[in-house]
Amino acid sequence: MRKSKDYSNISSMGVMEYSCCLLKISSIIPIVGVMLLLVCSSLISPVLSTWETGIANDKPRNDTQNFRPGEEAQKLKRVRQHLKRINKTPIKTIQSVDGDLIDCVLAHQQPAFDHPMLRGQKPLEPPERPKGHEREGKIYEDSFQLWHVTGEACPEGTIPIRRTNEEEVMRVSSVRRFGRKPRKFVRRDSTGSDHEHAVGYVSGQQYYGAKASINVWSPRVANPYEFSLSQMWVISGSFGDDLNTIEAGWQVSPELYGDNYPRFFTYWTSDAYQATGCYNLLCSGFVQTNSKIAIGAAISPTSSYKGGQFDISLLIWKDPKHGNWWLEFGSGVLVGYWPSFLFTHLRDHASMVQFGGEIVNSRTGGFHTSTQMGSGHFSGEGFGKASYFRNLQIVDWGNSLIPLSNLKVLADHPNCYDIRGGINNVWGNYFYYGGPGRNVRCP
């Protein structure tokens, strides 16, 4: 976690700025189609209950509604069986000040190693870092998450895992959908979707990773089944069922976590969010190697309006030797990796990289949500008021970090959330983004 200064408005450095207030986005179809093209599943066996299969379009539901006699007990049984699979036996548990339980689990017993292709293995050794990777000073892993306030730490040879509880699983439409983004039909221009975005992106080349510093805020989320997030997407595949993504950033998600803290998260999918992938360590996939960072745990401190600004630096890159995709936090702090066999297209390279914000708009009462994106303020307010991404870079085929070229910006509902980009000698490629949601221009 770094405290940031404003370098986005330095006239002597020849700042170029450009804004995006997109009224017609058919000419930039690939960006949002790729962004979250969620596809509903095919036919599901009729012998399973509605809650078990989650066939009700992944919509929130009242847990006490429409249950047949005995179904509540069956549901609870399935939930507890699932929790037994994902909550591994710890050798130590730490009680966080925010109510989380952080389990210290032996590294080789983490959920990833339940995967048939990883069973019996241990985490890999650190890979070669991309060339041109400059370290900005020591970043302490034990200073940006609330659970470290106690002063306790996980023993060597273990990793911290945020424990999932029954209430968190009971909130979703089905056990099978827990920890996954919803599956829905989404038009490629996303204007008919309940997911809204303000993003910067590059496409048209082969990408082997990306890096950015992301401003951290605590946006208000108006509905317990909505979320607000800021993240990086590393993407490959078509707009169909074969979409591959690797994602990391911070999010506020009351449904997933039961509160409104901004939390560090990861995500992956290899089939457009249908049956593969999950958040954090909620399925077999991401292999964590770090003993001090709990993925899914709350971030502290956060930025404040007209006050201190704090950001986190994230780097995702493909190890040229083994082909796995690694995640680094700060300057040199490895979090872990996504094994290459999880993917189809991303086994080779990415075809698009995106940075930015996303919210869910449930239109309760027929009105646009007041869920905030970023700081909850529009991009034009600038440093200290609007949220930002800075020092945007990509990793090329030679495993070198290089500045972006031809960064495009897009906001699919610019009266609700917008974006404004620029470039200078200190922040490199950057953009401000976000907004309040519902307002006089966004009813």
CATH number of the domain residue 368 falls in: 2.60.120
Looking at residue 139, its pLDDT comes to: 55
Q: How confident is the model at residue 93 (pLDDT cuts 50, 70, 90)?
A: very high
Is 72 a domain residue? no
Is 33 a domain residue? no
Is 377 a domain residue? yes
Q: Which of 214-223, 230-239, 243-252, 349-358 has the lowest mean pLDDT?
A: 230-239
| Distance, CA of 110 to CA of 87 (rounded, Å) | 9
Is 387 a domain residue? yes
**Close Cβ partners of 252 (under 8 Å, ≥ 6 residues apart):** 218, 219, 221, 227, 228, 229, 260, 261, 262, 263
Known active-site residue 247: yes
Looking at residue 296, its pLDDT comes to: 98
Is 209 a domain residue? yes
380-439 tens-digit pLDDT: 999 999 999 999 999 999 999 999 989 999 999 999 999 999 999 999 999 999 999 999
Return the structure tokens found at 175. 């056990």
Using CB atoms within 10 A of its CB, is residue 47 exposed (0-12), middle (13-18) or buried (19+)?
A: exposed
- Which residue among 247, 255, 328, 381 is the active-site one? 247
105-158 tens-digit pLDDT: 999 999 999 999 999 999 999 999 999 877 655 555 667 899 999 999 999 999
242: pLDDT strictly greater than 70: yes
Report the run of H or E that residue 82 belongs to, with start and end. helix 71-86
Residue 183 DSSP label? P
| Distance, CA of 5 to CA of 8 (rounded, Å) | 9
76: pLDDT strictly greater than 50: yes
Is 300 a domain residue? yes
| Distance, CA of 387 to CA of 377 (rounded, Å) | 8
Known active-site residue 226: no
Domain count within the chain = 1
Is 176 a domain residue? no
Mean pLDDT of 2-30: 48
* Structural domain of 277: 194-435
Is 315 a domain residue? yes
Answer yes or no: are the C-beta atoms of 421 and 18 closer than 8 Å: yes
Q: Does 301 sit behind a cis peptide bond, omega within 30 degrees of 0 on the bond before it? A: yes
- Which residue among 52, 196, 328, 358 is the active-site one? 358
Across the chain, mean pLDDT equals: 86
